[in-house]
Amino acid sequence: MSEEKPDLIDVQINGEWHKFPKGTRMIEACRAVGADVPHYCYHPKLTSPGNCRMCLVEMGMPPRPRPGEDPPEPDEDGHLPIGWMPRPAIACANTIAPNMGIRTTGELTEGCRKGVMELLLANHPLDCPICDQAGECTLQEYSVEHGKSESRFRERKVKKPKNVEVGPRIRLDDERCIMCSRCIRFTDEIADDPVLGFTDRGSHTVLTVYPGRELANNYSLNTVDICPVGALTSNDFRFQMRVWFMKEVKTIDTNCGTGCNITVFSRQGKIYRITPRQNNDVNSDWMPDSHRLNFHWIDSEARLTEPLIKLGDSHKPAAWTEAIALASDKLNGIDGSEIAIIASARMTNEELFMVDRLSKHLKVGHVDTVARKGENDGYLISEDRNPNTNGVKLILGLDDPGSQIEAIKEGIDQGRIKALISLQENLIDDAGFTAETLQKLDFFVHSYPLANPTADLADVVLPGACWAEKSGTMINVTGRLQRLNEAVDAPGQTLTPWEIVRDLIQATGGGNGIYSVTDIFNQLSAEVSEFDGITWGQIGDLGVPLIETGVTIPLLEREKERIAQGIIVG
């Protein structure tokens, strides 16, 4: 978007005059004034081939005077009369023009929609009862609005391939496909993996994957999201749950520093699927498959559900009060300089703030988090695989998170560090700790969602909630403050990490007065200067820019270019 005020032009939509910037698509202008135009092939983030014909509307321009005829007179508002065209126009690929008239209702438009629906349904199978898209299918929705209850076609429906494996994660049903080509354009334009295409002609057209190739790129499941019907379905979600049963919670992805905005779909405390949620400053409309499918461990058998205390060689279940009291007794008996805290950059700002409180209260000598580095995939996955490294830097005041881990290992080996509090990090698998090192500790407290080798060695194991079970805020790689929302209840007696740390502070004789995440956020915004003046409600669903980091997200940069070139709407 350019900084100077864009040229505004007058357009009449359903009899009312509105002003829109030059170059706006007709469909977007109509949407802006609440006159939604039904569409299948159009997607703001993809090119507009205009092939579904569902968005046909009645359009008119001021009549051109014949030679010798006077030009039409504008009325008192400066609008010229509109000469309605006998043919309809597609709203998705046409831009508005000065003094244009659009009618999204009326006989012509309604007639076009009815006709298009009848042809789309001519060969569509009646398998809504088994189709995963049922309930969120635009073909179903528009069929209710613009379709007929019975088909006038007496021919048999065309048979096409069903239940085709087009990739490791995706199943294709060609009979359901309405040839909108969104998936083809996505794989070509966004994922740079053009493996899909149409073959054959007329009513025998089928969507196919290139011979010998498969739709296997790490962004392939986005095609399932944008498929307006049930032609492409996710193997992972296939027949798991009907969409109308599920509760949707807006939250963010925590698999990398980008913090893709997501919607978590759950029913009765079980997560069934995760879909990306539009945020043009973070993830556009997309998310990687690897992050989307990384949720099955949340309701696995390995979840810790109650606090455990080590007795001899084995752990026994204990009450929270018992476990916390034991931990605080032991910690109070050890000098602060001999205690180390390893927190996690997967924790929220609020949790890190409580960790900071705890470390200051116990006068802890070493505080650090575990760094996770990977490769930037050139799309959405950041090289920082921790979701809140910027939060760690701001709140714990660490310049280079992860740099002291080796020093802590050495300190334990040399006996300088006697107690370790490890919060939400599996030290043996993720931070390179060895069992020998951890066994040298006098006292070891560990909180984690899952049973793991580190927990086997801990004196006190505390079940800590995972990302889907807690609320809080995180700062992504671009410096955007985003909100995490609780989607499902934590299993058993699991507590959120901030509650665990609060209880530890309280039991070791520290102050309290904190009862909710928003309490912590308020204190945080009062104490950390970068958060100054930001309120919990202000962050909203899309987050707010907090700090400048200079990091950009490659996919978004390419999208901005395409918007600037006018290829896509954005």
Partner 1 sequence: MAIVCERPKLKWWEHLYLPALAKGMRVTLGHFFKIVSGKKKVTMQYPEEKWDDHMPEHYRGAPALVTDEQDRERCVACQLCEFICPPRAITIHPEEIPSDDKWAKVEKRPQSFDIDMIRCIYCGLCEEVCPEQAIFLRKDYAITGTSRAEMVHDKSKLYEIGGKRVGLVNKWNELK
Residues that bind partner 1 (CB under 8 A): 126-130, 134, 159, 162-163, 238-240, 242, 244-245
Whose Cβ is closer to partner 1: residue 32's or residue 130's?
Answer: 130
The least distance separating partner 1 from the CB of residue 239, rounded to whole angstroms, comes to 5
Whose Cβ is closer to partner 1: residue 239's or residue 297's?
Answer: 239
State how far the Cα of 259 lies from the Cα of 487, in Å rounded to an integer: 16
Report which residue type is found at 88: P
Q: Tell me the CA distances in angstroms from 225 to 183, 232, 295, 348, 460, one per residue in order.
A: 9, 9, 18, 28, 43
CB 336 within 8 Å of CB 365: yes
CB pairs under 8 A, 24+ apart, for 153-159? 153/122, 157/122, 157/123, 157/124, 157/125, 158/123, 158/203, 158/204
Six token digits for residue 79:
């609008």
| Beta partners for residue 411, in sequence order | none
- Give the dihedral sign, CA 222/223/229/233: negative
The least distance separating partner 1 from the CB of residue 175, rounded to whole angstroms, comes to 9
DSSP state of 81: P
| Beta partners for residue 61, in sequence order | 83
DSSP state of 515: -
Whose Cβ is closer to partner 1: residue 44's or residue 230's?
Answer: 230
CA angle in degrees (0–180, nearest 5) for 7-13-16: 95
Whose Cβ is closer to partner 1: residue 242's or residue 558's?
Answer: 242
How, if at all, do strands 100-103 and 8-13 pair? parallel
Whose Cβ is closer to partner 1: residue 165's or residue 406's?
Answer: 165
CB 19 within 8 Å of CB 10: yes
Q: 395, 344, 338, 405: which is closest to 365 by C-alpha? A: 338
Six token digits for residue 262:
């997501």
The least distance separating partner 1 from the CB of residue 173, rounded to whole angstroms, comes to 9
Number of C-beta neighbours around residue 452 at 10 A: 20
Whose Cβ is closer to partner 1: residue 69's or residue 150's?
Answer: 150
Q: Tell me the CA distances in angstroms from 45 to 31, 91, 515, 522, one per residue in order.
A: 16, 16, 43, 37
Whose Cβ is closer to partner 1: residue 161's or residue 378's?
Answer: 161
Q: 286, 426, 241: which is closest to 346 by C-alpha? A: 426
Q: What residues contact 560, with CB distance under 8 A and at least 6 apart?
A: 570
Task: Identify the residue whose tokens are 């370790």.
Answer: 420
Whose Cβ is closer to partner 1: residue 132's or residue 499's?
Answer: 132
Q: Tell me the CA distances in angstroms from 401 to 256, 310, 343, 398, 466, one per residue in order.
A: 15, 30, 10, 6, 21
- Which region holds residue 546: left if phi is over 0, alpha if psi is between -120 and 50, else beta? alpha
Whose Cβ is closer to partner 1: residue 127's or residue 329's?
Answer: 127
CB 266 within 8 Å of CB 488: yes
The least distance separating partner 1 from the CB of residue 124, rounded to whole angstroms, comes to 14
The least distance separating partner 1 from the CB of residue 129, rounded to whole angstroms, comes to 4
Whose Cβ is closer to partner 1: residue 129's or residue 312's?
Answer: 129
The least distance separating partner 1 from the CB of residue 156, rounded to whole angstroms, comes to 9
The least distance separating partner 1 from the CB of residue 263, rounded to whole angstroms, comes to 21
State how far the Cα of 506 lies from the Cα of 503, in Å rounded to an integer: 5
The least distance separating partner 1 from the CB of residue 295, rounded to whole angstroms, comes to 19
The least distance separating partner 1 from the CB of residue 176, rounded to whole angstroms, comes to 12
DSSP state of 367: E
Q: Tell me the CA distances in angstroms from 499 to 352, 454, 511, one per residue in order.
A: 12, 21, 14
DSSP state of 46: S
Whose Cβ is closer to partner 1: residue 80's or residue 128's?
Answer: 128
Whose Cβ is closer to partner 1: residue 103's or residue 171's?
Answer: 171
The least distance separating partner 1 from the CB of residue 292, rounded to whole angstroms, comes to 20
Whose Cβ is closer to partner 1: residue 127's or residue 410's?
Answer: 127
The least distance separating partner 1 from the CB of residue 160, rounded to whole angstroms, comes to 10
The least distance separating partner 1 from the CB of residue 244, rounded to whole angstroms, comes to 6
The least distance separating partner 1 from the CB of residue 324, rounded to whole angstroms, comes to 38
Q: Tell me the H-state helices in 234-335.
A: 289-292, 320-332
At 150, phi and psi to the nearest 5?
Answer: -130, 150
Q: What residues contact 434, with CB distance under 8 A and at least 6 apart?
A: 428
The least distance separating partner 1 from the CB of residue 208, rounded to whole angstroms, comes to 19
| Cα end-to-end span (Å), the chain | 10
Whose Cβ is closer to partner 1: residue 22's or residue 159's?
Answer: 159
